[in-house]
Structure 1
Amino acid sequence: MTSQDHPDVLQPATLGPVRLRNRVLKAATYENMARDGLVTDALIDFHVEHARGGVGMTTVAYCAVAPDGRTDGHQIVWRPEALPGLRTLTDAVHDAGAAISAQIGHSGPVNNAKATGTRAIAPSRHFNKQFLRTVGPAGRDDITRVIAAHGSAAQMALDTGFDAVEVHLGHNYLASSFLSPKLNRRKDEYGGSLANRARFALEILGAVRDAVQDKIAIVVKLNMDDGVPGGFWLEEAIQVAQWIEQSGNADALEMTAGSSLLNPMYLFKGDSPIAEFAAVIPEPIRTGVKLVGKHVLREYPYSDGYLLDDALQIRSAVSMPMILLGGVTNRLTMDSAMSNGFEFVAMGRALLRDPDLINKLSDDPSIRSLCNHNNKCMTTIFTGTRCVLRSQNLPSPLSNAARPRSIRKADTEGALHAG
């Protein structure tokens, strides 16, 4: 313990069965650096850079448990063809000194069926305004299949050297949409009461635990607030977090917020780069963004540690380890998280701006991220996620012809999501 009587965020810690060199995690920020569902050199370089920068663990986002679980046509899908590349990726990150986690999930209604060539599913019939398509309800066979697919994905993550899996129960992806009373209008045992709406998510976690036992860590990314009227909200999140803890099927909780389907900017806070989004999205969606973008891509004020107050309500309701996400940019916020009972912190945009930030903080605790929260990094997900302030004079990660093939029009039609 430090002189402040709380853990030192830069000292080693244990997450489930995994020993990390510090308590800082690189949060899942969708890279769009896989191609045809396979690992690329660009994806490896991205995570090795963050590993060398000093984080305890980096998170690969987003790895779909099934072809219809993608949001775009290139995301990694857990299948035998992907495994050699995933092993190369984990070996490279380990060689750079960090642990590595795989974010696993199913996109559900966030799936752009045109880009993925698959059928999108939701708990109930839903009209997706982003893609101007109606999404059909998941049948019982779909539910059974997706639960089993999470277990298979976790097993493959274990087999390819991942130290952890992060199970995505947020952002109105499939499991999160089942939790939402706004999106879930089912009349069966997977709809109605909170216990019924949470059943799918809890069964997913059971399948993951059955697959990996205690051989790798299981992190759960859970919404506290969908950011839309009638959606999943903090009071329900507290109860679901308690059920997760009681199940014994998770080693840590990472609380998040917002809906990639209905309110994508709610998680990020800061500027809403509507003009930049319109510039990279093809017609007719481009015109729609210009006309109504300010109503869909709403702007919320940024402050350091902006999810802390809500996450503290979860912290007071469970005793399991928790990870603070949202506005972690400096040592002061990290220490505040530790003093408030969080065991880990997760950083996204701050590390995109400066992948070496943790190494620098080790030398000088007064340093803070140079990220100005303009959120223009969000618009780069269509060509390879990066900080535009850091890379103004650099090519996109996927622009090198020796690397994966060029971007197609369909590749710029994915959902605006965070990971």
Structure 2
Amino acid sequence: MVSKAFTTGTLGPLTLKNRFIKAATFEGVMTGGRVGDALIDFHAGVARGGAAMTTVAYLAISPGGRVHRDTIVLGADSVAGLRRLTDVVHAEGALACAQIGHAGLVANTLSNRTPSLAPSSRFSAPAMGRVKAATAAQLDAVVEEFGVAARHAVESGFDAIEIHMGHGYLISSFFSPNLNRRTDDFGGNTIRRAELARRVAERVRRAVGETVAVTAKFNMDDGVRQGFWLTESMATAHLLQADGHLDALQLTGGSSLLNPMYYFRGPVPMSEFIASQPVPVGLGLRVIGRRLFREYPFEEAFFLPLARQFRETLDMPLILLGGVNELDTVHGALAEGFEFVAMARALLRDPGLVNRFRDETATAGLCVHCMKCMPTVYSGTRCVIRTPG
């Protein structure tokens, strides 16, 4: 009997060859914001290894929305390079997804040399300074920039678009009662804090039509005091479902701004983080690093208990993310009604893992959850114990 994990799955207008998606993992090889062979090879390896779809992360909708200067802006100038990437992924038998977003409070404004935006004015460590609250006119522009970026993604040959609504990035920060203190149309209660996300989803769908899948990476829990949690995230998910612009939610949690380890789990490789940074930043990490990078023990499928709450109450397709490393976990998630699973670290360690699952030569990935891959995002994201080739 064929495992459901290796049956086709429907994602909006798409048919995926199996139920495995490579989750967005910042590749760290976009020097100067350009598409190069290293980025293409990264995703070609995942496609060759059996995943039904690989996700390119992270593509900014504007220069101010970059994480830092080595982030691709999804504009007209990047279409030709990204088309090279999607053509290679398609030739390897997989589909390609573009994760698009605005970094907001997570943006390194010194690196970008461009101001960023926030729901409410506040200090941001990644920005190394104060980020001002966005005006209504600026938010209108952001919504339009999402639409333009989505259209460029289609021109680049992407089959799907993932809107980044998690991890403290701009849209995610608007969800948060902790970060969003506004009293206008974009803040004050759960419905208004969801307004930006809903406008963006509608604009992206209008830009791409019905031939491209549109999903969102969506926070269930920020992992911070007074942050976005189930009481609001489940209600917000229902709003997004009712609007009908999204084909699926990929469920996540944590905050790159305030609690990044919440969506990784495992030991904090602090010495490697310090070594990867310029001296002043490294000194700062020695002082506050342990407060910023709280440690959570790794557990297989660590987001599953939260994700079950969403599966119980939503009808739309859901993608399980977070510590999926074993084939039995995949079988269990599909049996519980999740349509797909997304994998990140397991495929960094072994890009061919999905094929090995299919061929019954493996039942679990080789990742040891050491987290030493995290600091490599500054020099090319990789598993530090994987043998090249």
State the TM bucket, normalised to the shorter chain.
Answer: over 0.9
SS in 1 for 2:164: strand
Partner AA of 1:151 in structure 2: G
After the TM superposition, list the runs of 4 or more consecutive aligned residues in structure 1 that deviate by more than 3 angstroms: none
Tell me the alpha carbon deviations over residues 194-249 of structure 1, each in whole angstroms, 9 at most, x when there is no partner. 11100000000000011112110011110001110011001211111111110010
Contact 2:146 2:203 in 1 (8 A): yes
Partner AA of 1:352 in structure 2: L
Partner AA of 1:367 in structure 2: T
Tell me whether 1:383 sits opposite 2:379 in the alignment: yes
Contact 1:38 1:81 in 2 (8 A): no
How far apart are residue 295 of structure 1 and its match?
1.2
Per the alignment, residue 302 of structure 2 pairs with 306
What TM-score do the two structures reach when normalised by structure 1? 0.91
How far apart are residue 366 of structure 1 and its match?
4.6
1: distance between equivalents of 2:144 and 2:128? 30
RMSD between superposed Cα atoms in Å: 1.3
SS in 2 for 1:36: helix
Contact 2:320 2:333 in 1 (8 A): yes
Per the alignment, residue 244 of structure 2 pairs with 248
2: distance between equivalents of 1:279 and 1:17? 45
Tell me the alpha carbon deviations over residues 368-394 of structure 1, each in whole angstroms, 9 at most, x when there is no partner. 111111111110000110001115xx6
Alignment of 1:191-210 (within 5 A): 191-210=187-206
Tell me whether 1:280 sits opposite 2:276 in the alignment: yes
Per the alignment, residue 154 of structure 2 pairs with 158
Alignment of 1:69-84 (within 5 A): 69-84=65-80
Per the alignment, residue 352 of structure 1 pairs with 348
Moved more, 41-50 or 31-40: 31-40
Task: Select the residue among 315, 319, 336 that pairs with 1:319.
Answer: 315
Alignment of 1:62-141 (within 5 A): 62-141=58-137
SS in 2 for 1:166: strand
How far apart are residue 8 of structure 1 and its match?
0.4
Partner AA of 2:243 in structure 1: S
Per the alignment, residue 170 of structure 1 pairs with 166
How far apart are residue 52 of structure 1 and its match?
0.2
Aligned residues: 389
2: distance between equivalents of 1:206 and 1:265? 31
Tell me whether 1:27 sits opposite 2:23 in the alignment: yes
Per the alignment, residue 330 of structure 1 pairs with 326
Structure 1 unpaired stretches of 5+: 396-419
Per the alignment, residue 186 of structure 2 pairs with 190
1: distance between equivalents of 2:106 and 2:343? 24
How far apart are residue 365 of structure 1 and its match?
6.3
After superposition, the Cα gap between the structure-2 partners of 1:44 and 1:366, relative to the gap in structure 1 and judged at 3 Å, is closer
Tell me the alpha carbon deviations over residues 112-168 of structure 1, each in whole angstroms, 9 at most, x when there is no partner. 001111101100011113443111111112101110111111111112210000000
Partner AA of 1:39 in structure 2: V
Contact 1:331 1:365 in 2 (8 A): no
Per the alignment, residue 264 of structure 2 pairs with 268
Per the alignment, residue 47 of structure 1 pairs with 43
Contact 1:83 1:160 in 2 (8 A): yes
Per the alignment, residue 212 of structure 1 pairs with 208
Partner AA of 2:26 in structure 1: Y
Task: Select the residue among 19, 33, 38 that pairs with 1:37.
Answer: 33
2: distance between equivalents of 1:51 and 1:137? 40
Per the alignment, residue 406 of structure 1 pairs with none
Partner AA of 2:68 in structure 1: D
2: distance between equivalents of 1:365 and 1:233? 39
1: distance between equivalents of 2:154 and 2:13? 12
1: distance between equivalents of 2:348 and 2:108? 26
How far apart are residue 35 of structure 1 and its match?
2.6
Contact 1:130 1:285 in 2 (8 A): no
Tell me whether 1:8 sits opposite 2:4 in the alignment: yes
Instruction: Indicate the percent of aligned positions where both proteins have the same amino acid.
Output: 47
What TM-score do the two structures reach when normalised by structure 2? 0.98
Moved more, 30-39 or 117-126: 30-39
Contact 1:108 1:120 in 2 (8 A): yes
Contact 1:154 1:211 in 2 (8 A): yes
Tell me the alpha carbon deviations over residues 312-339 of structure 1, each in whole angstroms, 9 at most, x when there is no partner. 1011111111100011111100011001
SS in 2 for 1:350: helix
Partner AA of 2:248 in structure 1: A
Partner AA of 1:30 in structure 2: F
Tell me whether 1:368 sits opposite 2:364 in the alignment: yes
Partner AA of 2:150 in structure 1: A
Contact 1:18 1:217 in 2 (8 A): yes
Task: Select the residue among 218, 231, 234 that pairs with 2:230.
Answer: 234
Structure 2 unpaired stretches of 5+: none
SS in 1 for 2:271: helix
Contact 2:356 2:362 in 1 (8 A): no
SS in 1 for 2:130: strand
